[in-house]
């Protein structure tokens, strides 16, 4: 009995620990309820380490724990809630570096007690799935637009239109958060909250985001965007002196009076209602979340007067009005069909088919829209790549062999040069060898061009089938090809064929692959091959020209007489 009483007493202390620490922060001295509520919820978020869990990681945790297959009104026990929170925090520690690990057990205990106190005030020992999703999606880290998109996916129908009854349920659950931190009188739920937010009849995603991210937002949710702004300005530095506390600099928000010239307050003084001199708390104050130097302000004013300031962008990206929510497909809750998993798989298949069709339009070829991914085709492609790499190595070896043979054939020995008949015979052999080398070079160039054409087709096929996956070949400009750089070792040489000639008809992907450095071994090998061919051809043509000149001189000598020809050869 004594041991059970001690455990119960310890549980009560842990349950009150978070609220005791929050009271110690003395947030109640903040005179404005909006800032007071946002500061309290931000403290709970950081104390429970929820600010380290991104909204996308939270959504993935919902799916991993099977919450996407449950009805919103289904109830889960506190023990299962603890299991879900454990998976969230342990996965978080895996993503964090070892020097920033969190105390998982402490975070689980604090968050579990806060959620039970907020959503199970009557101690039933159960919470609904929707209340848990609404709380965790609101209090986790990440961008507010991503959170609102996920919330809209939970309260809209299959056609992408918001269901007012579900939004009313969301307001009931999310407004329990201000009530949990003792701000219920300012931001409590009322029956008119829904119509105050949306007087329209049909609400799509963009309208939903416009209303909740407006300035100002609906009164009942004004603390939500402020909590995100607080997170963004916690480490912002302002090199400005506070007009009340005389602090030489301030962190966080900065407030500037619109009536008193040069009067500025730090966030601590403004939140507590401090004022001095001619300034009054009734004056309008402008909130600043960043610092701009006077020089930047002057340049901005000049640019604005000259019409150089771009038109302000929308506070959030504009999304299609159709019911397409790619980020929600893996987490869809289907309530209308008895076979919810089959319906979810069909949704994923339709979305994958739409992505494949879009990828086909961009490459002017429509890829197959089969979700099963043809693994045999992928295997054949890998084999084709291996064959192309082997063929490329063979070409490089042949080029090296021809280079050695050409060097040996283009250097006559002094003994041979002293004998006219033998020299003439060797010159004829050299001319014959020259023609043979030129034919071989042409054949190699044609083989290299065919290799590049095959590689181009392969790259286009891989790009169309992968559908824009991270392993697909990069393409920055369709149809735009840069000329391939040519390196020459001799300024005076005039090669009859250049690497660009053999690239005629090759698509832009291969040329772009050559112009982007060496992102993988195949491109590096082909680039080395192109340079080797260019250098070899330049040297070959230069040597052949010198051979032709020597042959012409020897023919002239033979016509002028054997003795004089022998004498000239000896002089040479």
Spatial distance between the Cα atoms of 253 and 288, rounded to a whole number of angstroms: 6
pTM summary value = 0.55
pLDDT recorded at residue 74: 94
Three-state secondary structure call for residue 243: coil
Helix (H, G, I), strand (E, B) or coil at 264: strand
pLDDT in tens, 515-567: 444 444 555 655 666 666 667 666 666 766 665 665 555 555 555 444 444 33
Secondary-structure breakdown of the chain: helix, strand, coil percentages, each rounded to the nearest 5: 65, 5, 35
Q: Is the dihedral of CA 354, 360, 362, 364 positive or negative?
A: negative
- Which SS3 state, helix, strand or coil, does residue 323 take? coil
Residue 20's CB: how many other CB atoms inside 10 A? 9
Report whether pLDDT(433) > 90.
no
In this predicted structure, the answer to whether residue 362 has a pLDDT above a threshold of 80 is: no
**Beta strands in 392-439, from DSSP E residues, in sequence order:** none
pLDDT of res. 128: 95
Confidence of residue 463 (pLDDT cuts 50, 70, 90): confident
ω into residue 216 within 30 of 0, thus cis? yes
pLDDT tens-place string over residues 392-414? 888 888 888 887 877 776 665 55
Q: Give pLDDT, residue 530.
A: 63
Q: What's the chain's average pLDDT?
A: 75
- Please state the rounded mean pLDDT for residues 327-356: 53
Each residue of 72-111: pLDDT tens digit? 999 999 999 999 999 999 999 999 999 999 999 999 999 9
CA distances from 51 to 35, 40, 251 (A): 18, 14, 20
Q: pLDDT tier at 200 (50, 70, 90 boundaries)?
A: confident
Give residue 491's pLDDT: 38
pLDDT at 405: 79
At 404 the pLDDT is 82
Write 350-358 long-range contacts (CB < 8 A, 24+): 351/324, 351/326, 352/467, 354/324, 355/467, 355/468, 356/467
Distance of alpha carbon 443 from alpha carbon 544, whole angstroms: 19
Q: What is the pLDDT of residue 79?
A: 94
DSSP, collapsed to helix, strand or coil, labels residue 75 as: strand
pLDDT of 106 reads 94
Distance CA 515, CA 510 (A): 9
């Amino acid at each position: 009995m004594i041991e059970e009483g001690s455990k119960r007493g310890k549980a009560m202390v842990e349950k009150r620990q978070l609220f005791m620490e929050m009271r110690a922060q003395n947030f109640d001295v903040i005179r404005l309820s909006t800032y007071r509520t946002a500061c309290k919820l931000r403290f709970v978020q950081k104390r429970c380490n929820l600010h380290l869990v991104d909204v996308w990681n939270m959504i993935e945790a919902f799916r991993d724990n099977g919450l996407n297959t449950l009805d919103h009104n289904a109830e889960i026990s506190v023990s299962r809630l603890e299991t879900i929170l454990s998976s969230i925090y342990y996965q978080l520690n895996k993503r964090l570096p070892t020097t920033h690990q969190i105390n998982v057990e402490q975070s689980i205990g604090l968050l579990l007690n806060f959620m039970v106190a907020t959503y199970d005030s009557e101690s039933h020992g159960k919470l609904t799935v929707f209340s848990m999703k609404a709380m965790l999606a609101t209090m986790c880290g990440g961008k507010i637009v991503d959170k609102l998109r996920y919330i809209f996916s939970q309260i809209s129908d299959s056609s992408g239109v918001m269901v007012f009854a579900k939004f009313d349920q969301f307001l009931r659950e999310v407004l329990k958060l201000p009530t949990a931190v003792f701000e219920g009188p300012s931001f409590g739920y009322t029956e008119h909250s829904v119509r105050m937010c949306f007087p329209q009849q049909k609400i799509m995603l963009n309208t939903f985001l416009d209303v909740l991210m407006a300035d100002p937002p609906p009164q009942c949710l004004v603390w939500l965007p402020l909590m995100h702004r607080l997170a963004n300005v916690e480490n912002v530095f302002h090199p400005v002196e506070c007009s009340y506390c005389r602090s030489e600099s301030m962190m966080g928000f900065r407030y500037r009076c619109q009536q008193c010239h040069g009067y500025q307050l730090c966030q601590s003084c403004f939140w507590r209602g401090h004022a001095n001199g001619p300034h009054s708390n009734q004056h309008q104050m402008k909130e600043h979340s960043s610092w701009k130097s006077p020089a930047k302000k002057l340049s901005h004013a000049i640019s604005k007067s000259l019409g150089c300031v771009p038109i302000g962008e929308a506070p959030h990206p504009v999304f299609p009005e159709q019911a397409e929510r790619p980020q929600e497909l893996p987490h869809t809750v289907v309530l209308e069909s008895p076979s919810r998993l089959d319906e979810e798989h069909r949704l994923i298949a339709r979305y994958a088919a739409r992505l494949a069709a879009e990828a086909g339009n961009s490459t002017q070829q429509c890829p197959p829209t089969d979700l099963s991914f043809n693994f045999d085709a992928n295997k054949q492609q890998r084999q084709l790549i291996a064959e192309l790499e082997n063929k490329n190595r063979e070409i490089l070896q042949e080029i090296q062999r021809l280079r050695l043979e050409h060097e040996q054939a283009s250097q006559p020995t002094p003994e041979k040069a002293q004998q006219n008949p033998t020299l003439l015979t060797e010159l004829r052999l050299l001319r014959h060898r020259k023609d043979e080398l030129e034919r071989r070079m042409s054949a190699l160039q044609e083989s290299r061009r065919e290799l590049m054409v095959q590689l181009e087709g392969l790259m286009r096929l891989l790009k169309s089938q992968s559908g824009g996956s991270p392993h697909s070949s990069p393409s920055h400009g369709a149809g735009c090809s840069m000329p391939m750089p040519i390196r020459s070792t001799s300024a005076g040489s005039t090669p009859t064929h250049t690497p660009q000639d053999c690239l005629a008809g090759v698509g832009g992907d291969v040329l772009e692959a050559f112009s982007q450095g060496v992102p993988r071994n195949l491109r590096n090998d082909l680039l080395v091959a192109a340079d080797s061919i260019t250098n070899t051809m330049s040297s070959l043509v230069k040597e052949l020209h010198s051979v032709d000149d020597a042959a012409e001189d020897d023919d002239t000598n033979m016509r002028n007489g054997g003795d004089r020809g022998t004498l000239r050869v000896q002089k040479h």
